[in-house]
Structures are given as structure tokens and as C-alpha cells.
Structure 1
Amino acid sequence: MTIDSPPNTSADLAYQELRTAILTGEVVAGQVMSQVQLAAEMNISRTPLREAVRRLEAEGLLTAESNRRVRVSELTLRDLDEVYGQRLLLEPLAVHVSVPQLTRDDLAEVKDALEASSAALRANDMEVFHEHHRALHLGIVKRVGPRLFRTISELWDHAERYRRVFLVEGVVDRRQQTICDHEDLVAAAFARDTSLCASVLIRHLSTTALTVFDYYGGPERPEMINLALERHR
């Protein structure tokens, strides 16, 4: 199974271009955009753009407004709670299924992603880090079924919006801890120790999510995250 599939149509291209712009923060949360202007800027007709917009609406990244406009979905603590709550339930399951099936080539790719992401993080090259960070995490769970893999990939990408804000805002410098977590995760995968791999992943995900909540949350609490963590105790 490949982690990403190349776009095939104008609608696919428009979908991936807009999706990437939203997930990376190039198009900011809450921004309102004209579909007519978007079609002109992307040099496509409105039919494939409408298809791309429909898919992004279904994914929760865009909301339709009047006069053929769309709004980029806001970043909210409630959504972060839902994203990470689901990740904490699904990704440990995926680890238990996928890790025993990883081939030598799969593991070599994960190790390469670890080395590249660590080097980029130490150099503060965040764009390169984000690319290899994704390859590392999804590489470990790539041998699950296609339905679960698609769900995990989508949740991972949605979490990326929050991670980018988290890193830019400088809530706390977790770079060295992130590298250590990734090293532990990959070592457990190489050892085929699924329980340890899942445990490291749970610690890694929950620390990121709860740190963001502690910084931004105020009276809001991470209900789904806490419920998911209770399941693992």
C-alpha cells in the first residue's frame, strides 16, 4: 500500500492543492474565499473546483457560505479533542496489526524517515521535518487495511494544522523529546514489540495534545482524550 496516491483529474489536483494550503496554514483558519476567484487562480473550470470543495466540506476543512463562497474551518479545542481522541484509540490498534507485518524495506523506510526528521528538527527546518514526520508515523501503520489507513491518514493530517500552530506559537520547545519519542517508537517497531510501540505512541500523542490544552484550554477540558486514555490504563 502506498501512503499517497497521485492526483488524476483536475478535481483531484484542485482538492490536493487546496487541502495542502489549508493543512499547512497557507490559507488561514476562518478565511473566506470566493469559488469564482479560486477557479480563476487555479486555472480550472468551476465544475472540478466544486467537486474539490465538496470533498473538503465532507472532510470538515471547508464550510459553504452564501454567494458561492467558502470558509476555512476554524481551529477549536473541541475539534482538537476529537481528532486526538480518535487517534489515541485507532493508532495503537493499527500498531498491533501493522508492526508484525512490516517488511525489512518498510522498516528501512521508517528508519530513514526517523533520521531525516530528526536532522530537520535539529536544524529547525520545519517543512522538511513535517514531510518526514508524516512518513515515519504512517510508515509504522501502513500494513493495516485500507479503510483504517485512510482514516488514520486523514486524522494525522488534521492534527497537523494544530501541530503547526503549536510549534509556531512556541508553547514549549519539545524538539528533543519529540526526537526521543520517535527513536523509542522506531526501536519498538524494529523489535516487533507491539505493546511497547503502542505505549510509546500513546505517550507521544497524549503529551502533545494535553500540552496544547494546558496552554490554550482555560475552562475547556479534553474529554475525548481523557476517555481514550482511560481505555489504555
Structure 2
Amino acid sequence: MAGILKRFTDIMSANINALLDKAEDPEKMIDQYLREAQSDLGKVKAETAAVMAEEKRAARELDECKAEAAKMQSYAEKALIAGNENDARTFLAKKASLTEKQNTLEQSYRMAADNAAKMRNMHDKLVTDINDLNARRDAIKAKMKVARTQQKLNELGASANKASDTLSAFGRMEAKANRMLDEANAMAELNESSAENDIDDLMSKYDSPSSSDPAVDDEMAALKTKLGL
């Protein structure tokens, strides 16, 4: 019984919170505690029943002894009334023996009654503690369910953040691609503008009116003739 009480005292103490904190699965641990407590309750109940039965037996023996002593007293009185003093002495001697036995039985009964009261208190406390532990188990399981749901939400949130980061990276790459395309288009536009300017300059070379001197032109023509050009 002492081992049962010590184990259950440990279970019901504040230390159970520390034990549950270290447990990988608090639900399984508290279920194990409850199974052990129910098993202990069965043992306590059987022991309590045995002690209560002993109390009743002691009470019955005490009552029987008292009744027998009272009977011897009655017979002693009857013997004296009948004038049989020796018979009265015999009955009184038996009563004295019964009285001595009664004292012993009273001590035994008090011990049995005390033990029975302690066992009943132990049994009742164990039942109360088990009910309390059952309630705490339900609360722990409810908290565990919420915790698991929160963990899933955290995992989904992490995945969503990762997807958001991926989209953000794609956005940066897209912006870079757009910037590169814009730069390439600008460069092409600049190149095209430069080519058009070259053509315009060349055309203006031949479109502009001649600014040469006629005398120089005539001399140039004579020189070409002379040279056979």
C-alpha cells in the first residue's frame, strides 16, 4: 500500500508538469499513469474490503463476548436467587474471563476500525485523484490537439512565405529582364539614329550647291585634257 500511495502522490504532485514537458507524447504518458492508477485502485479496493471485513468480524466478536458476559451475569443472579452460591461463583468466574477477553477484543476492534477508516480514506482519495487526473488528461489532449493544429498552420505559413519569396525572386528576375530589354531597344534605337545621320550627311554632300570658282573649274578642265583624263 505504501508503494501505491507514493507512486500516486508523485503522479498528482506538481512534478507531473515537468515530466509531461520532457515527454515526447504527453497523451501517452498520462494514459499510462491512468492505467497504473486504475490498477492501483483495484488493489486498494480489494485491500479496503478486506480491512472492512476484519473490522466487522472484530465488532461481531466483541458484541458476542459482551452478550456472553451479560448472560453469565444473568445466570449468576439466577443461581444466587435459587440459593446456589457455587453455581453463581462459576458463572461469575466465566464472566470475569469473558471480561478479560472483551478488553482484548475492544483493542482489536479499535485497531481494525482505525485501519478500515484509513483504507476508506485512501480509497476515496484515490478515486478523487483519478477523476481529477481524467479531467486533466482531457485538458491536455485538447491542448495537444490545438498545438498540432497550430504546428500545421506554422508549416503552411512557412510554405506560403517560401512561395512568396520565390515569387519575389521571379519578380526581380522579370524586372531585370525588362530592364535589359529596354536597354537593348534603346541601344538599337541609338544605332539606327546614328546610321540615318550618316546617310543624311552623305546626301547633303551632293545636295549642297557648288561653291567652286568658274575660273578654277575651267582651269581644272584644261588640266584634265592636257593630262588625258
> Aligning the two structures, in what range does the TM-score lie when normalised by the shorter sequence?
under 0.3
Q: TM-score, normalised by structure 2?
A: 0.20
Higher helix share: 2
Pair member with larger Rg = 2
Q: Greater strand percent: which structure?
A: 1
The TM-score with structure 1 as length reference comes to: 0.19
The structure showing larger relative contact order (alpha-carbon pairs under 8 Å, at least 6 residues apart) is 1
